[in-house]
Homo-oligomer: A and B are copies of this chain.
Amino acid sequence: MINVGVLGATGAVGQRFVQLLANHPWFRLTTLTASDRSAGKRYQDVVNWRLDVPFPEDVGSLVVEPTNVSAVSDLDIVFSALPADIATTLETDIAAAGVGVCSNASSHRMDCNVPLVVPEVNPDHLGLIDVQRDKGTDGFIVANPNCSTIVLCLSLAPLMPFGFSNLTVATMQAISGAGFQGIPAMEIYDNVVPYIGSEEEKMENEPLKIMGSFDGAEVRNAPFQVSASCHRVPVIDGHTMAVWADTKAPVADVIEAYRTYTPPISGLPHLPSESVHYTDEPNRPQPRLDRNRGGGMTVSVGRMREGLRYVAMGHNTIRGAAGASVLNAELIVSKKYV
């Protein structure tokens, strides 16, 4: 068993980490960190559990640690659900202390030595761990992309063999993406908010790195462009997006590629039976009905039509955040980096 911990375990993404790690077959969850005022108390006494799955009772008695290097320096892997401003320095320090950091924070995603990984799409980018280690540390940082980027990239995986030059994407994103306190009800109920800070920039930059090529030393960005418009809608979980890809591939061939798609990896506990599920139903995917497919790890795609246009949807706090980091960690372990 590999000893793991969660940095920032009481927030929306932190709770998802705890949910996914509580009974993990490979990982033993031994450490939960939170703010100083929670430190020293039992997790069950400080967390305001707000997921609609039951609280994992056996984790409840863990005593919460303060969020610093020494709290996690004995672990093999630590999962970071920290806000970006805190993550920037702390994740670097933790990696320097010899710990593997699987981070959901945006701080280091675009660092040239940090792999930005979606396991089904660019597992080879983990080779950047060696680049990091060549600089003299045992630890490392591996980042997962922004929630919307992950859904987009997985939805593009079966399309990659056909090639495309430009992407246009309009998102309809869930409120959980902003955390438990992030969006007042008066702001989003009976409403659409057509702006999410920094989201469009992330969707326009991160896919180029993820789908870029790695030559053993560095990642060269993929040559396409993304134009994104990001919107918040009154949905609890599940980011939906309309995608246009500038490709000449025939629709029928593309649909067949989605049906027969298999990812280049296998055997990981959180790898769902289908990473990308294609549906023929004319009015799907829908977040409320499809977000829990594959335990929240499957991205659903439908409405493939001339244009080339389609609709993609995935669970933003599972596949798009905590589950992404956990799957990255599983890939890291299976590749013997830990």
From B190, B303, B313, A189 is in contact (CB under 8 Å) with B190
- For A184, the chain B residues whose CB sits under 8 A away are 180-185
A195-B289 in contact (CB<8A): no
Number of interface residues of A (CB under 8 A): 56
Q: A172-B231, A311-B229 are in contact. Are A53 and B190 (CB under 8 A)?
A: no
The answer to whether A284 has its CB under 8 Å from any CB of chain B is yes
What are the interface flags for A207-238 relative to B under an 8 Å C-beta threshold, 1 for contact and 0 otherwise? 00000000000000000000101010111101
A283-B194 in contact (CB<8A): yes
Q: How many copies does the complex hold?
A: 4
The answer to whether A323 has its CB under 8 Å from any CB of chain B is no
- For A195, the chain B residues whose CB sits under 8 A away are 282-283, 303
Which residue of chain B lies nearest to A283 when distances are taken between CB atoms in the complex? B195
- For A172, the chain B residues whose CB sits under 8 A away are 172, 192, 231, 233
Q: A54-B292, A187-B185, A227-B307 are in contact. Are A194 and B234 (CB under 8 A)?
A: no
Q: How far is the CA of A69 from the CA of B9 in the complex (A)?
A: 46
What are the interface flags for A1-23 relative to B under an 8 Å C-beta threshold, 1 for contact and 0 otherwise? 00000000000100000000000
The answer to whether A240 has its CB under 8 Å from any CB of chain B is yes
Q: How far is the CA of A127 from the CA of B303 in the complex (A)?
A: 40
What are the interface flags for A309-331 relative to B under an 8 Å C-beta threshold, 1 for contact and 0 otherwise? 10101000000000000000000
What are the interface flags for A232-248 relative to B under an 8 Å C-beta threshold, 1 for contact and 0 otherwise? 01111010101010000
- For A227, the chain B residues whose CB sits under 8 A away are 244, 307, 309
A192-B286 in contact (CB<8A): yes
A287-B192 in contact (CB<8A): yes
Closest CB-CB distance, A282 to chain B, in whole Å?
6
Q: How far is the CA of A313 from the CA of B233 in the complex (A)?
A: 14
Q: How far is the CA of A186 from the CA of B236 in the complex (A)?
A: 7
- For A119, the chain B residues whose CB sits under 8 A away are none
The answer to whether A122 has its CB under 8 Å from any CB of chain B is no
Of the A-B pairs whose beta carbons lie under 8 Å apart in the complex, a sample of 19, sorted by A's number, is A50-B187, A172-B192, A179-B186, A180-B187, A182-B184, A183-B186, A184-B185, A186-B236, A190-B234, A191-B286, A192-B238, A192-B313, A194-B303, A195-B283, A229-B303, A229-B309, A229-B311, A231-B240, A234-B234
Give chain A's interface residues, CB within 8 Å of chain B: 12, 49-50, 52-54, 168, 170, 172, 175-176, 179-195, 227, 229, 231, 233-236, 238, 240, 242, 244, 282-289, 291-293, 302-303, 307, 309, 311, 313
